[in-house]
Structure 1
Amino acid sequence: MDFSLTDEQNDLVKTLRAVLSRHATSAAVRGAADSEPGFDPGLWRVLTEEVGVASLAIPEEYGGAGVSWFETGLALEALGYYLAPSPLLASAVLAASAILESGNEEAKQRLLPGIAEGSRIAALAWADGRGTWSTSGSGITASAADAAGNPGGDAAAEQWTLTGTATLVLDGGSADTLIAVAVTPDGVGLFEVLDAGSVQRVNTPAVDTTLNFTTMTFSGVPARALLPDAAAALEKIRDIAVVAVSCLQVGTAQRGLDMSVEYSKQRVQFGRPIGSFQALKHRMADMLLQVETARTTAWAAAWSAGTEAADLPERAAAAAAWCSDALDHVASETVQLHGGIAITWEHDAQLVFKRAHATGQLFGQAREHRRRLGVLLGIMPQPAGAAPEQRERVSAVL
C-alpha cells in the first residue's frame, strides 16, 4: 500500500489550498459562520463548480467524477486546515453515501447529479434525542408507516409517512433534500423526505460555530423508502462518516501545529524567541508526531473506504479514535503555547480548540470507537444486544 499522492491528487490539494487561502481567511470564516446559511455560498460554488469537491466520490454514471472517498478525504483535510464551514461533509459524504448504499437505482439517478454539481444540498437526519447514531434503530425516535397508516407498512409501498424527531442534523437548515433514518417494527430504514418544506427545523447552537446543526421534527411527513432494511447499510455509512471526520480533524490539527510553530518564532521572552527553548521544542515535536500519525491513520481508512476494502470497519474505528485524541492533544497544546491570547475570541486558536471538542463527539467519542475496534479485533467481548450482522462481522475477523 503506497500512500504517496499521485500527481492528480497533489494538484487537487494545491488547487484547494489556493482557493481556500483566498476565500477562507479568518474574517471570511467568521462571517460565513455567522451568516444565515452558516457557510459562504460563493465559496461553495467555486469549490463545486471549479474544483468539483462534491463530485469526487460519486460515480460517473450519476454525474460525479468517479474517483473515491480518498480524494474526498483530501478535500476535507484542506477544509479542516482553513476551518472553513461547508456542506461537503453533510451533503457529499453523509447524504450521498446513504443514497449510494441504499442501492436504489432510481434515487441515485435522480438525486446524486445535483449533489455532485453542488446545486442540491442534502442532509441525513439520523441522530436520536441522546445525540447517538444508532445503526440498529435502538433509541431512534423517528418512525415510518405506510400510506395506509400501518406502522412498518409494506416494503413495496410507494409512499410512507414519517413521525418523530431527529437531532444534530448536520447542515439541515440549508438542505433542500432530506434523507431520514426511521424505525419500523421490522427494523430500521432509509427514507427520502418528499416534502422537505413541511419538516419543522430548529437550529441547534454548537460549541464550534463553523458547524451547523438542526433538530428536525416530522409530523406525518410524506416519504419514499430508499431501503426499508438498512441496518447493514448504516454500518457502512457510519464507517464512511467517521473516516471523513477523521480527515477533517487531521487538517485542523495541522493548522494548530503550524500556528504554534509560527507563533513560537515571533514571541520573544527573556530576549529569545520562545521556540528556541528546549522544553517547547519537545512539545511541538510531540504535536508533529500526533499530526503525522493521525494523517497516516486517516489516509489508511480513507483508502479502505475508497477501495471497498474488507478492513474498513477496523480502520475506520482506529482512525476515529486516534484522530480525535490527536486533535484534542494538539488543540490543547496550541492554546497553551499561545498563552492568554489563545482564549480570546479574536484569535483563531479558540476555533481549533472548539473544532476538536465538537468533532470529538460526532458519530461517537474516541473511547466508543476504541471499544468497537477491540470487539472487531476479538480482544474485547461482544456487547450484549449487538445486531446479528455485527456478530457475524466479529466472527469473520476472528
Structure 2
Amino acid sequence: MSDLLYTEEEEALRSAVRSLLADRCGPADVLARAESDRPHDRELWKTLADSMGLAGLLVPEDRGGQGASHREAAVVLEELGRAMAPVPYLTSAVIATETLLACAGDAAAELLAALASGRTVGALAVPFATAPGAVHTRVRHEGGTLHGEVTGVADAAVADILLVPADGGLFAVDTGRDGATVTPLTSLDRTRPLATVTLDGAPARLLAEGAEADAAVRLGLRSGAGLLASEQLGLADWCLTETVAYLKERHQFNRPVGSFQALKHRLADLWLRVVNTRAAARHAADALATGSDEPNLAAALAQAYAAPVAVRAAEEALQLHGGIGMTWEHPVHLYLKRAKADSIALGTAGRHRTELADLVDLPAPATP
C-alpha cells in the first residue's frame, strides 16, 4: 500500500506556493479581479509557471518538464484552491498536458514542451461539465480546417492553444488564427470563466486519431477529475479554518460563538468530512502517479465524495460567518461559487457514483 502522507518535498512545495499566494493573491486581489473584465491573473501565472516551473510538473524532464508526479501537482492544486487563485493550472498544466502526454508524434511533443514552459496556455475544447469518457463533439474536420462550436470551455479566453476533438481525431488550433473565435460567457465562478469557442475554417494540426485520440482525451479528463478533488480539498479546508477562527473571535451573550454546542457539532461534522476528503484526494493523486490502484476507480471515488463536501463547507462558512458572510466584500461567496461550479465540472458526483458502482460491480437496483 502506498504512503499517502505528505513527503518533505511535498511540504516544501506547499510552503513555497502558499507563501507566494499569500503575497500575490490575497482575498482583496481575487475579489477585485472577479469584478473586472480580466479575471485571470497573468502575472501570477507567469511566476507560477515560468519562475517556479509548476506548469511542467507532470511532464518528464526529457520532454521539457520537471519530471514530478500527480502527487506534487495535487499539492499545488490544494494551495490554489485555498487561495482561489485565478490561474489556468487545472486546465492547462493538468488536463491539456495529460492529453498531450498520451499523444505520439512531433506536433504533440512540441506543444507539450510549450505548455511545460508556461509561456503557452492550453485548454481542451470540451464543455467543462464533460465527464471522462463522455465526450460528444459537434466539431467537424474538413480539408485541414475545423468547423463547429463548443460551449462552456473553461479558461478558453486565456488559452493560446485549443485541443479540439473532432471526427475521431484530436487537433490543435491556435486561438490567434483566423477562424477561431472565443466568446466569454457569464459564469457563476468568475475565477475560472467559461467561454464559447466558435471554429469557422480554423486551421488545425492533427495530433492523434482513432483510438489514440479517444484515449488521450479520456486520460486528460480522468486526471483532471482526480486532481480536481485536491483543489476542492483546499477550498473546503480554507472554509473550515476561517470559520473556526471567526467563531472564536465573535462573541454573543458574553461568550465566543464557537463555544455553543450546536455549532461545535456542525464544525466537528465538517472537520470529519474534510479529513475524509483529504484521504480520497490523496488516494486519487497517488493512484494517478503510481498506478498502485485502479486510477479510474480512485478518480471516481474522489469526485463522488469531494464535490459535495466542498459545497457543504462553503455553505457552512457563509452561514456561520453571519451577516458579514452575506456581504460582497467578504470572500466566502467566491468559495461558494467555485464549489458550486466544481460540483458539476468534469462530471457530477452522481455520475461518478454511477461509474464507481459499475467499476466495483455494484450496480443500482433496477427500477420497475
Structure 1-normalised TM-score?
A: 0.87
Q: In structure 2, how many angstroms separate the alpha carbons of the residues matched to 1:40 and 1:195?
A: 19
The aligned residue for residue 239 of structure 1 is 222
1:121 counterpart letter in structure 2:
V
Measure how far apart 1:74 and its partner are: 0.7
CA deviation vs aligned residue, 1:165-191 (integer Å, no higher than 9, x gap): 111211111111111112x2xxx3211
The aligned residue for residue 105 of structure 2 is 105
* 1:144 corresponds to 2:141: yes
Q: In structure 1, how many angstroms separate the alpha carbons of the residues matched to 2:56 and 2:33?
A: 23
The aligned residue for residue 275 of structure 1 is 258
Match for 1:349 among 305, 329, 332? 332
Measure how far apart 1:33 and its partner are: 3.2
Distance of aligned partners of 1:109 and 1:379 in 2 relative to their CA distance in 1, 3 Å threshold: same
Give structure 1 stretches of 5+ with no counterpart.
148-159, 384-398
Measure how far apart 1:271 and its partner are: 0.8
Please state whether the residue corresponding to 2:150 is helix, strand or coil.
Answer: strand
Structure 2-normalised TM-score?
A: 0.93
Q: In structure 2, how many angstroms separate the alpha carbons of the residues matched to 1:69 and 1:35?
A: 33
Measure how far apart 1:309 and its partner are: 4.4
Distance of aligned partners of 1:310 and 1:222 in 2 relative to their CA distance in 1, 3 Å threshold: farther
CA deviation vs aligned residue, 1:345-367 (integer Å, no higher than 9, x gap): 11111111111101001011111
Distance of aligned partners of 1:194 and 1:349 in 2 relative to their CA distance in 1, 3 Å threshold: closer
Q: In structure 2, how many angstroms separate the alpha carbons of the residues matched to 1:194 and 1:342?
A: 42
| 1:378-393 alignment runs, 5 A limit | 378-380=361-363
Distance of aligned partners of 1:276 and 1:92 in 2 relative to their CA distance in 1, 3 Å threshold: same
Distance of aligned partners of 1:205 and 1:194 in 2 relative to their CA distance in 1, 3 Å threshold: closer
Decide whether the 8 Å contact of 1:194 with 1:224 is kept in 2: no
The aligned residue for residue 135 of structure 1 is 133
The aligned residue for residue 13 of structure 1 is 14
1:135 counterpart letter in structure 2:
G
Q: In structure 2, how many angstroms separate the alpha carbons of the residues matched to 1:275 and 1:134?
A: 41
Match for 1:218 among 162, 182, 199? 199
| 1:246-395 alignment runs, 5 A limit | 246-309=229-292, 311-380=294-363
The aligned residue for residue 156 of structure 1 is none
Length, aligned pairs only: 362
1:180 counterpart letter in structure 2:
V
The aligned residue for residue 193 of structure 1 is 173
Q: In structure 1, how many angstroms separate the alpha carbons of the residues matched to 2:101 and 2:251?
A: 54
Decide whether the 8 Å contact of 1:15 with 1:51 is kept in 2: no
- More RCO (CA 8 Å, sep 6+): 2
CA deviation vs aligned residue, 1:103-145 (integer Å, no higher than 9, x gap): x2312431122211211111110129xx54573554x211223
Measure how far apart 1:35 and its partner are: 4.5
CA-based RMSD? 1.9
Give structure 2 stretches of 5+ with no counterpart.
none
Percent identity (aligned): 36
Q: In structure 2, how many angstroms separate the alpha carbons of the residues matched to 1:338 and 1:60?
A: 46
The aligned residue for residue 93 of structure 1 is 94
| 1:52-67 alignment runs, 5 A limit | 52-67=53-68
Q: In structure 1, how many angstroms separate the alpha carbons of the residues matched to 2:38 and 2:323?
A: 32
